[in-house]
Every structure is written in C-alpha cells, then in structure tokens.
Amino acid sequence: MFDQRLSLKDVIIGILKGSQDSISGLSRKLNKNGYKLHRLMLTGYLKALVDTGYLKEQEIKPSKVYSIRSPKEKKYIYDLLGEEIKNITDTPSEQAKLCIYILQRLFHRPIFLEEIKRCKIKTNGNIDAEKIEGEERGQARKLLSKTLLRLPFNDPAYMIRETIDEYEKLRIDILQNIIISEFNLNKFSMKSKQVKLDQIKK
C-alpha cells in the first residue's frame, strides 16, 4: 500500500521509477494499491503530467506508454522551433528558410547552419537565403562564442533581408505556441487550428 500522504503525481512517478507502463498497466497497479480511478480521469491526469514535463508519452501500438522525463530531456528553443516548423510544412527548403527567418528576427543576427541542424531540419544543401560573410558573420560568431553553442570552424551563416508576409504571420503564431506549451498555458488559450504554409500562400 502506498503512503496515503503522497499526491497522485508522486504515486504515479513511484510506479514508473526505472520503468514504463501503459494506461491499463498503471490503472491496475493503482487499483491494487487502493487508488480507484476511472480510465478517462487517469488519462486526463497523465496528459497533465506530460504537459507539465513530469512524464513523457510514447505511442507503442496499440497503447500509449508513459515514463519519467529526465531533466536532461529538457527541450530548448531549437528543438521547440523545429517541431513547430515541421507541423507547418513538409518541404525541407521551406523549413530551412522559415527557420532562418524566425531565428534572425528573434536574435537580431545572422543564423548559422549549425542552428538549423539543432532544429533537426535537413537542408539537403539547399538554403534559400543570403549567405553572410565578413564582419557581420564574425560579430555573430563572437557573440555565440560566449554561449554553450559550439560552431564548426567554417560554419556558414544566413539571413533573409526582406519581410515575407506569410512568414511574419507564422513567426508570431509559432512563438505564441511555444510560450503556451512551455508555460502550460493551454487552459488559458482559445487556440485555433494550426495553419499550414500552403494554406497561407493560397
């Protein structure tokens, strides 16, 4: 029997310590130890633990499997941005261009190829942006030398000088999505369905 003073979160994390389990498996173990929860209630609670970063969820058909999220698995801006961009367009060249556009407006500097790779975006050697050389690239590289991001010696840098209307709308939407997700603000937001890039261009 679990200590009744523990919260349900602590009990579930105790069950999952060093292992992973499905909703059905967790339900059986909770029931066995005096925690009788309707499956829908347990499903909602597990989703909340995933949203708040305590658990991670994997789909291993036919079930969803839950395990404890390691602190090392914390996502950074590049991971989050890459995920959002891939939800908008499947075209690698568009993904890379949108990635550069958003990052350069966020950081106010040229964006390096290594940063695009950190977003897990494959460029296939095709980047539709201005390649930056000389002092402008050097200043950006010097700035990044003070961070934990390590750049290859000859890593190219890129910028998109012009404002692209459809990218500007997506930039705002994507950064809003990241803030809502990271600070668990879903309950506060009347979020509309995510728009695809080809829908904006029509």
The string of pLDDT tens digits covering residues 67-119 is: 987 765 567 899 999 999 999 999 999 999 999 999 999 999 999 999 999 99
**Beta-carbon-side half-sphere exposure of residue 37 (alpha carbons within 13 Å):** 21
What is the CB neighbour count within 10 angstroms for residue 126?
Answer: 11
Residue 107 CA: distances (Å) to CA of 1, 100, 110, 140, 147: 52, 10, 8, 10, 13
- Beta carbons of 175 and 102 less than 8 angstroms apart: yes
Q: What is the pLDDT of residue 191?
A: 64
Task: List helix spans (H) across 33-164.
Answer: 39-51, 77-88, 92-107, 113-118, 134-144
For residue 5, give the DSSP letter: T
Confidence at 2, pLDDT banded by 50, 70, 90: very low
> What does the alpha-carbon distance between residue 50 and residue 181 come to, in Å, rounded to a whole number?
11
Q: 3-state SS of the chain: helix, strand, coil percent to 5?
A: 50, 10, 35
Residue 147 phi, psi dihedral angles, 5° rounding:
-110, 180
Q: What is the pLDDT of residue 74?
A: 65
Residue 117 CA: distances (Å) to CA of 40, 59, 170: 39, 25, 20
The string of pLDDT tens digits covering residues 38-68 is: 889 998 889 888 877 788 888 877 888 999 8
Q: What is the pLDDT of residue 10?
A: 85
Q: Which residue has the higher pLDDT, 89 or 1?
A: 89
Q: What is the mean pLDDT of the chain?
A: 86
What percent of the chain shows pLDDT beyond 70? 89
Domains and CATH numbers, the chain: 8-72 (1.10.10.10), 77-185 (no CATH)
> What does the alpha-carbon distance between residue 76 and residue 95 come to, in Å, rounded to a whole number?
18
Q: What is the pLDDT of residue 136?
A: 97
